């Protein structure tokens, strides 16, 4: 998107949006806030921590308020604990967005599970960040499809796996075969199943052949339908 097109998009957005930039890099974040205000209709404030924002409510702030948390210099467990603590302090309708994030931290899946709404990396352009903020103020998430799919896949699998904990599986299915069926019903490929279960694609194919024979189906679709109706129906809760 060209700069003038981006500016027009931002200017067309409602001007009742407020962004809080949280972090200890005060000078850098102040310059960042000034840039955002220059290229949008939004108000942007810089604070050192989320604590002063915690008492705020939706009645005292504009309807659309986002918090941009500066992740510069944070990594691993420290970053995870910081994100969780900050989310717990925020009003539930304020999206938390992580920026200056290192692409190698691997925190995105966990942060999404906690309730974060988006990620901007240390090498993203300012245009990307402004475009992403426009989406977030519009009620959307700013996250790659792959990361979002990982969260959906992981949480759906956990739910389905818990449903059968302690049960005897029908048709002499093994626990591993039920795990594979649980992921298969989400439309996952053999490669995705292999990655999730830390086995080879060849082993996945072997398991699927055994499953097909045991439940008397001829395709992945038939196996998915059978699993959804037989294994993961709510009557088994």
**Tens-digit pLDDT profile for residues 138-172:** 888 898 877 776 666 666 656 555 555 555 678 88
pTM over 0.95: no
Residues 121 and 205 in one domain: no
Residue 111: pLDDT above 50? yes
Confidence of residue 14 (pLDDT cuts 50, 70, 90): very low
Residues 110 and 136 in one domain: yes
Please tell me the distance from the alpha carbon of residue 103 to that of residue 34, in angstroms, as a whole number.
26
Residues 121 and 160 in one domain: no
Confidence of residue 36 (pLDDT cuts 50, 70, 90): very high
Give tens-digit pLDDT for 50-105.
877 766 644 455 568 899 999 988 887 888 888 888 887 887 788 899 999 998 88
Residues 101 and 164 in one domain: no
- The proportion of the chain whose per-residue pLDDT surpasses 90, expressed as a percent, equals 30
pLDDT at 7: 41
Residues 190 and 115 in one domain: no
What is the number of domains present in the chain? 2
Residue 98 to residues 2, 43, 130, 157, 201, Cα–Cα distance (Å): 24, 18, 13, 26, 35
Placement of tokens 């504009």 in the chain = 62
Residues 77 and 158 in one domain: no
Residues 34 and 72 in one domain: yes
CATH number at residue 162: 3.40.50.2300
What range does the domain containing 158 cover?
148-236
Mean pLDDT of 94-123: 88
- Which has the minimum average pLDDT: 10-24, 31-45, 210-224? 10-24
In the sheet with 96-101, reading across from the earlier edge strand, the strands are 43-47, 17-22, 64-70, 96-101, 118-121
């Amino acid at each position: 998107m060209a700069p003038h097109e981006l500016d027009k998009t931002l200017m067309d957005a409602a001007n009742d949006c407020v962004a809080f930039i949280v972090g200890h890099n005060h000078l850098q974040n102040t310059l960042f806030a000034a840039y955002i205000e220059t290229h949008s209709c939004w108000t942007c404030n810089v604070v050192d921590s989320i604590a002063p924002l915690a008492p705020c409510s939706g009645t005292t702030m504009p309807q659309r308020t986002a918090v941009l948390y500066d992740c510069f210099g944070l990594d691993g467990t420290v970053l995870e604990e910081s994100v969780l603590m900050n989310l717990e302090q925020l009003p539930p309708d304020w999206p938390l967005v992580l920026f200056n994030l290192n692409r190698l931290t691997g925190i995105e899946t966990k942060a999404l599970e906690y309730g974060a709404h988006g990620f901007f990396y240390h090498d993203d352009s300012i245009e990307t960040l402004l475009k992403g903020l426009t989406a977030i103020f519009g009620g959307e998430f700013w996250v790659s499809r792959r990361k979002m799919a990982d969260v959906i896949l992981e949480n759906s699998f956990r739910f389905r796996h818990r449903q059968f904990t302690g049960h005897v599986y029908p048709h002499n299915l093994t626990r591993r075969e039920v795990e594979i069926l649980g992921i298969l019903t989400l439309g996952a490929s053999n490669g995705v199943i292999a990655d999730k279960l830390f086995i080879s694609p060849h082993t996945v194919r072997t398991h699927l052949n055994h499953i097909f024979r045991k439940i008397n189906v001829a395709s992945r679709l038939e196996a998915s339908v059978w699993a959804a109706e037989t294994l993961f129906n709510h009557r088994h809760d």
